[in-house]
Amino acid sequence: MLLVSEPILGAEEKLALASVIDSGWITMGDRVREFEQAFARLHGAEDSVAVSSCTAALHLILHALGIGPGDEVLVPSLTFVATANSVLYVGARPVFVDIASPDVPLMSLDDAEARCSSRTKAVILVHFAGYLPEREKWQSFARRKRLLLIEDAAHAPGQPAAGTFGEAAAFSFYGNKNMTTAEGGAIIARDPLLRETIRRARSHGMTSGTRQRLDSRTPDYDVTILGFNYRMDELRAALGLVQLRRLQEWNDIRRRLSLHYRRLIVNHCSSVTVPFADEWPSAYHLMPAVLPAETSRQAVIDSLRGRGIQTTVHYPPVHRLTFYNQICQRCHLPQTEEFARRELTLPLHPRMSLVDVEFVIEALAAALSAKAAMEAVA
């Protein structure tokens, strides 16, 4: 099966894990700190905070910024549910915003403006599929509305502009991301005071960690703020240090595969559209395609699976999921709903070759042609 996503793990990762085990120190320590510094350097930041997941990262950012009950946060519905969940974690209310269009499936600036209220305190921009929103326009909007600007950059590690939009950015290293630590995440916050609050809150609000107390030879610590258990461990940090060294190379492979997809879709599947212009800044996390309106997506999925090709959908709209539909019953986002009905995510990862891309497009063209032939007969 040609998978939608596949991590690259090998001898270097095994050696890195073995080294941690041999060291006898597996909780948060020197490797976590080294990983934080390396990740920050890659993004031109002073420092970063490594955490247990991107969800934890979003929660910590909102918590540290003081967002809570009575506040509203603008979020896209075209995202993984964790984006909205993190808002509920701090007691605030997520307000779902439509995408701009099927060609630009990022949060609509106009719809965001329309959904602002006196209770709106922040906006979470999601870099869907690795593609970044227009930074200057969103920064201007946030200044004008006096909103805190947060990035859900789960899809965009290694993209130079990720982490430069506003107060903070949350990154993911889950198993299907551009680089992986199995589970894990990181936060870039440019304000040192905000970053220190986040760093302390990730570990129960404690003033020192286990390794720090060992090195300083004193068991004393204090708890100064409400905190959580969102630490990254040494094993995941060791994986991250190995993966980070190849992230730019892997992102470039993703870029070349994406461009090849685009060329072939134009030539062989002209009824299919691909979001975003070729030059749009991206980390090329996903390869989303939009099927013709009348096409049965499930028939195409089944046809490709029969050829050994996995596909998936990014994403079922959050506001349509059972839990959120119960609390957002009158929410209607026509652009998001139409995009989600027709979107199909094709395989994209650095283990693939250009020949693999050609095989996927040949199979997609055959699936679409078979459907057209059946409709013609009918």
The average pLDDT across 264-282 equals 95
Q: With 70 as the cut, is the pLDDT of residue 376 above it?
A: no
The average pLDDT across 318-328 equals 94
Res. 372 pLDDT band, cuts 50 70 90: low
Dump pLDDT digits (tens) for 162-173: 999 999 999 999
Express the helix, strand and coil content of the chain in percent, nearest 5 each: 45, 15, 40
Q: With 80 as the cut, is the pLDDT of residue 65 above it?
A: yes
Res. 32 pLDDT band, cuts 50 70 90: very high
| Helix (H), strand (E) counts: the chain | 14, 9
Q: Looking at residue 327, what is its pLDDT?
A: 87
Dump pLDDT digits (tens) for 109-144: 999 999 999 999 999 999 999 999 999 999 999 999
Dump pLDDT digits (tens) for 289-308: 999 999 999 999 999 999 99
177 is catalytic: yes
Residue in 286, 281, 333 with CA at minimum distance from that of residue 134:
281
Residue ranges of domains in the chain, CATH in brackets: 11-244 (3.40.640.10), 248-377 (3.90.1150.10)
The average pLDDT across 315-330 equals 93
Q: With 60 as the cut, is the pLDDT of residue 346 above it?
A: yes
Tokens standing for residue 304 = 């490709």
Looking at the chain, the whole-number percentage of residues with pLDDT higher than 70 is 98
> What phi, psi does 356 have (nearest 5°)?
-60, -40
Quick one: DSSP state of residue 99?
A: B
Res. 375 pLDDT band, cuts 50 70 90: low
Please give the C-alpha separations between residue 89 and each of 59, 61, 282, 303, in angstroms, as whole numbers. Answer: 7, 11, 29, 41
Q: Looking at residue 377, what is its pLDDT?
A: 37
The average pLDDT across 62-82 equals 98
Enumerate residues 6+ apart whose C-beta is below 8 A from 313: 297, 340, 343, 344, 345
Q: With 90 as the cut, is the pLDDT of residue 93 above it?
A: yes
Q: Which of 14, 137, 177, 371 is catalytic?
A: 177
